Amino acid sequence: MQRWLLLMLLWVSWPLVASQQPTVLVMGDSLSAAYGIEQDAGWVSLLQTRLNGKAVIVNASISGETTSGGIARLPEQLRQHTPDIVLIELGGNDGLRGLPPSQMRNNLRSMIETSQAANAQVLLIGIDIPPNYGDAYRSAFTRTYNALADEYDLTLVPFLLEGVALEPELMQSDGIHPTAEAQPRLLETVWPALELLLENHRNSQAGDSPLPQATN
């Protein structure tokens, strides 16, 4: 009798436990898709390892993705995964192709609003580009992320490759993509902002356990 009672309690409580586990959707490009390295070495995979079952990570990043591609794919990703948090790491390929910063801004704005309409928190991850198209273009490009973060009161990671982009030994031969050795640094750049959003989610759920702490 006690065994059946225990099984019933576990069966009843399981949906509640599962519902408290947040889902994080990563909409990124090659920087989040582990381009040129083993998938398990990418910063998104390292994030999954760090969380150790405290969250479900869905990596919907595609190498070469632009903000236009992100808009096209986002609704279906939201429908399939109903994420609690959406990480938007896009724009780099728009900049490398010289696409208008205003177009990128409008595309990212649409992704933010679509995610928020699906009741997901948004973490915006910025990127910088080489000065190929001039300082004015580069400045307009990088300002986009700060402007959107201010407009929508978002948590912002200003530059994903902080501490990596100017270190040749941490970049692949193309000078654009980080090596496997650089991936832990990318995770450390994203982690404080993401941890804050995860804590916000945890605090809204009763009886959840603390998030794992970063280790050196």
What is the rounded distance in angstroms from the CA atom of residue 90 to the CA atom of residue 202? 27
Q: Which of 140, 158, 152, 159 is nearest to 101 (CA)?
A: 140
| pLDDT, position 167 | 97
The larger pLDDT score, comparing residue 116 to residue 210, is at 116
Q: Which of 84, 95, 82 is nearest to 126 (CA)?
A: 95
Does 177 qualify as catalytic in the annotation? yes
Instruction: For residue range 89-113, list pLDDT tens digits in order.
Output: 999 999 999 999 999 999 999 999 9
CB 74 within 8 A of CB 26: no
Q: What percent of the chain has pLDDT over 90?
A: 82
Instruction: For residue range 20-33, list pLDDT tens digits in order.
Output: 799 999 999 999 99
Instruction: For residue range 53-65, list pLDDT tens digits in order.
Output: 999 999 999 999 9
0.85 exceeded by pTM:
yes
Query: Which residues, 6+ apart, have CB-to-CB distance to 175 below 8 Å?
Result: none
pLDDT band at residue 9 using 50, 70 and 90 as cut-offs: very low
Q: Which of 30, 32, 61, 115 is catalytic?
A: 30
| pLDDT, position 176 | 95
* Predicted confidence (pLDDT) at residue 15 exceeds the cutoff of 50: no
Does 40 qualify as catalytic in the annotation? no
The larger pLDDT score, comparing residue 1 to residue 31, is at 31
CB 68 within 8 A of CB 110: no
* Predicted confidence (pLDDT) at residue 7 exceeds the cutoff of 90: no
Q: Which of 29, 32, 84, 177 is catalytic?
A: 177
Q: Which of 19, 135, 173, 174 is catalytic?
A: 174
* Predicted confidence (pLDDT) at residue 159 exceeds the cutoff of 90: yes
Does 174 qualify as catalytic in the annotation? yes
* Predicted confidence (pLDDT) at residue 41 exceeds the cutoff of 60: yes
| pLDDT, position 215 | 53
8-state DSSP, 205: S
Residue whose structure tokens are 């069966």 = 11
Q: What percent of the chain has pLDDT over 70?
A: 86
| pLDDT, position 204 | 79
